[in-house]
Structure 1
Amino acid sequence: MNDAATLLPEDEARARILALAMPLSAEWVALEDGLGRTLAEDVMAQRTLPPWDNSAMDGYAVRAADLAGALPVRLPVLETVFAGGAPRQEVRPGTCVRIMTGAPLPSGADAVVMRERVRPVPDGGADEVDVLEAVVPGQFVRPRGEDAREGELLLAQGTPLGIPELGLLWGQGMLSAPVPRAPRVAILSTGDELCRADEAPRGRIVDTNAPSLALAVRRAGGLPSLLGIAQDTRDSVAEALSRAHGFDVVLTSAGVSVGERDYVKEVLAAIGVEQHLWRVAIKPGKPLVVGKRGSTLFFGLPGNPTSSLVTFELFVRPTLRKLLGHADVAPARVSGRLEGKLAKPPGLAHFVRVVASWKDGALWARPLSTQTSGALRSAAAATHLLHFAREASSLSHGDPVELLPVSWGA
């Protein structure tokens, strides 16, 4: 039966899921461990940086008014000031000071002339120069407090901590920062057909979902824990999920569709997990179940390896980012063009694995030869997911397309 019309659209499903998630409690971490995380509270500046007006160039500190007339202007050089030093003399009218990048601007000076715009006076030694170019007040001067002023808001709560932000905090003398703690994520695979990679298969297949999802969780900023493999029985699934206490998120793979031995939904309900959605209008990844018990979020992901990665990308990763305090959590999207053709029945949005490369002034997306959800090889080669809209049935060569960069690549 075609029930696509009753399934949740991808964006609505994600909105419902994100409404269930709130940033986690704060912890203090060393700044170098805060990269990629967010601030859990406002940070106020404790220091004014730079603490003084300083030169942005190697050159000569001058009074701009002295250069307002005919050029060149000959000026005596009172002294040289290096970065880390301090000026000893005031720049009086008709004088200048040789200055290096980062050195404090002497009193009386209001601009800097680049060294390249100054000519030594023949036989004048280093005591006189001819200035060849006029400047305006403030030119090549980095003003006091340009980076921060004591008492002002330096970085607001929720600010993602990139390298420049961490540099600002180090500049304030901070060695640690408050960030939402990393989400603890339990991961369970289900299926009689599965074995661990260190076991002899004996007619089974190696479980790649759990270790792959663990890496995806770690890359998203979470702390993964593997719960093992549950057999396709109610008791085995229930026993495994009984070990999922104390986690912020629980991920299961397989057992969420309508098969005779798909027990995950049933067991989740039995242990008190309130179901908030089941099945999304996407391919791969339609049989997705999401619920909540207390503060713990449960995701029943599909069992096919690529389906589990795609649903992680579309729904789990944004949730982990919200738990980590990020405001912009939806998957990034970029514009591109289709290389080749695509066709499908309307009803489900397809997320097509593609390789995208820049040529002829556009990002061209080439669909990979296999799109079966059980084939990890296509996920391994993919750089983006192409969003083939739910209502669309065909795309032609050169058509504009929406691309989602995948986070699972190298």
Structure 2
Amino acid sequence: MHRTDNSHGHTASGHGSQTRTVEAHRNAVRELLADLNGPGRTEQLPLLAALGRGLAGDVPAPVDLPPFANSQMDGFAVRSSDISGGGTLLTVVAPIAAGATAAALEPGTAAPIMTGAMIPPGADAVVPIEKAVPDAFPDPGAEATVRLPATEPGTYVRSTGSDIRAGELALAGGTFLGPGQLGLLAALGITRVAVHRKLRVLLATTGDEVVEPGNPLEPGKIYDANGTLLEAAMRQAGLEVLRAAISTDSPDQLTAMLREHAPHVDLIVTTGGVSKGAYEVVRQAAAGQDVEFLHVAMQPGGPQGIGRFDGVPFVGFPGNPVSCLVSFEMFLRPVLSSLFGSPAPRPALRARLAEPVESPAGKHQVRRGTLLPDGTVRLEGGAGSHLVHALANSNALIHVPAGTAALAAGAEVEVWML
């Protein structure tokens, strides 16, 4: 399920010391995963099974939409040239129901027509029923006349191909398939669509101090939030997740676990063990691999790992919960969206700070916040990367670009809606 070469362009030392910008690191992640968007990595699915997936190629419209001119209103189909400026009395002919084939409309007549019904040959406009005198359809088969006001050609007529013409691009490759997109494909008569296959990801959390929720919490131990946090984010992003057991701080054990699962996944993601400490288990387990550890000019989430482990794309996130989720949102999620069309990009808005904020020099700071109904955004918690409660009470990520040391209340910032 993966390539076996190591030619992704990263230093093999495993101990890179340079600082990289957020944009540069996102581009590096995109380059790392680009080969997963190659031939043979698509599948044909029925429309509803494709919900939430990314379209694998352009889809041209096979038919006009609508396929025939039809009425936008319940009313009378008319020849607009039959009606004078002051209104004209016309003879009512047989009604036209939706789904029926319409006979040609003779001069001096008006045909009752239902919404969506075919415009009869010869007619070029529809007068809504409420503008008719009388403002009701006559009984079927009864001889009747109706006075109608003057109307312009094309009024209340949905012309053939007015939505899209056959042969035009209906959806571009890379489009996220939500209800609206699937509805368009169905309207075009399409029943199956080519989408990118789901990536299978190995998620490994590390740390001697970390225990699974539900187990006794001994002194010095903490419950693992990262596994649930990232697995939920990944599943929400359309990934198939293989969750490994929590790895201890034994490099040999972690290496063996990664090596066992690597042949069966498309991507390896680890949390923790990527900083510059003496006992960083992920760094140690990746010794000899084509993996680089570096610092991104971002807070939280500065320490990062990237490369290939046994030829499999590898991304290493920091161990603090907020750091690992911010890393996913800043690097992996947007790359998945741009390469595979899924998940849908986070909505990016402009909002005004409800309070002042400070930011470390030279770093892109990502704070948690709540976008309020008045268009301001309130900070939730401090800048600490352990504040899971603040994260849970947030609906947005607030971006303070590198080079901005402080912003006053009322300053405009970019926010990504969660």
When normalised by structure 1's length, the TM-score is 0.89
Task: Provide the aligned length of Structure 1 versus Structure 2.
Answer: 392
Query: Equivalents in 2 of 1:35, 1:126: separation in Å?
Result: 52
| 1:10, distance to aligned residue in structure 2 (A) | 1.2
1:212 aligns with 2:226: no
Query: Equivalents in 2 of 1:349, 1:104: separation in Å?
Result: 58
Match of 1:299 in 2: 315
Match of 1:241 in 2: 258
| Contact residue 183 and residue 320 of structure 1 kept, 8 A | no
Query: Equivalents in 2 of 1:126, 1:36: separation in Å?
Result: 54
Query: Equivalents in 2 of 1:206, 1:8: separation in Å?
Result: 31
Match of 1:34 in 2: 50
1:101 aligns with 2:115: yes
1:383 aligns with 2:395: yes
| Contact residue 272 and residue 320 of structure 2 kept, 8 A | yes
1:188 aligns with 2:204: yes
| 1:159, distance to aligned residue in structure 2 (A) | 2.6
| Contact residue 342 and residue 394 of structure 1 kept, 8 A | yes
1:258 aligns with 2:276: yes
Match of 1:370 in 2: 382
Q: Which amino acid aligns with 1:139?
A: T
Match of 1:353 in 2: 368
**Pairing partner for 1:317 from 325, 328, 333:** 333
Which structure 2 residues correspond to residues 50-61 of structure 1 after superposition, within 5 A?
50-61=66-77
SS for the counterpart of 1:120 is coil
| Contact residue 188 and residue 240 of structure 1 kept, 8 A | no
| Contact residue 284 and residue 310 of structure 1 kept, 8 A | yes
1:120 aligns with 2:137: no
Query: Equivalents in 2 of 1:72, 1:235: separation in Å?
Result: 90
1:85 aligns with 2:100: yes
Query: Equivalents in 2 of 1:72, 1:294: separation in Å?
Result: 81
| 1:156, distance to aligned residue in structure 2 (A) | 3.0
Query: Equivalents in 2 of 1:42, 1:369: separation in Å?
Result: 44
| Contact residue 274 and residue 292 of structure 1 kept, 8 A | yes
Match of 1:230 in 2: 247
Q: Percent identity?
A: 34
| 1:155, distance to aligned residue in structure 2 (A) | 2.7
SS for the counterpart of 1:199 is coil
Deviations 1:60-95 (A, max 9, x none): 11111112x33121100111111122324x212211
SS for the counterpart of 1:374 is coil
Query: Equivalents in 1 of 2:412, 2:358: separation in Å?
Result: 15
SS for the counterpart of 1:105 is coil
Query: Equivalents in 2 of 1:46, 1:183: separation in Å?
Result: 30
SS for the counterpart of 2:278 is coil
Distance 1:328 1:9, change over 3 A: farther
Deviations 1:100-150 (A, max 9, x none): 10111111111111111111299x976100012x22222111122334544
Query: Equivalents in 2 of 1:126, 1:324: separation in Å?
Result: 62
1:396 aligns with 2:396: no
Query: Equivalents in 2 of 1:193, 1:249: separation in Å?
Result: 25
Query: Equivalents in 1 of 2:323, 2:111: separation in Å?
Result: 68
Structure 2 residues without counterparts, runs of 5 or longer: 1-16
Query: Equivalents in 2 of 1:35, 1:379: separation in Å?
Result: 28
CA RMSD of aligned residues (A): 2.4
Distance 1:252 1:131, change over 3 A: same
Query: Equivalents in 2 of 1:224, 1:401: separation in Å?
Result: 34
Distance 1:7 1:317, change over 3 A: same
Which structure 2 residues correspond to residues 153-168 of structure 1 after superposition, within 5 A?
153-168=169-184
Distance 1:197 1:42, change over 3 A: same
Q: Which amino acid aligns with 1:268?
A: A
Deviations 1:370-393 (A, max 9, x none): 332112101101111211222122
SS for the counterpart of 1:158 is coil
Q: Which amino acid aligns with 2:101?
A: A
Q: Which amino acid aligns with 1:220?
A: A
Question: Which has the bigger relative contact order, CA under 8 A and spacing at least 6?
Answer: 2
Match of 1:142 in 2: 158
| 1:202, distance to aligned residue in structure 2 (A) | 2.5
Query: Equivalents in 2 of 1:58, 1:243: separation in Å?
Result: 66
When normalised by structure 2's length, the TM-score is 0.87
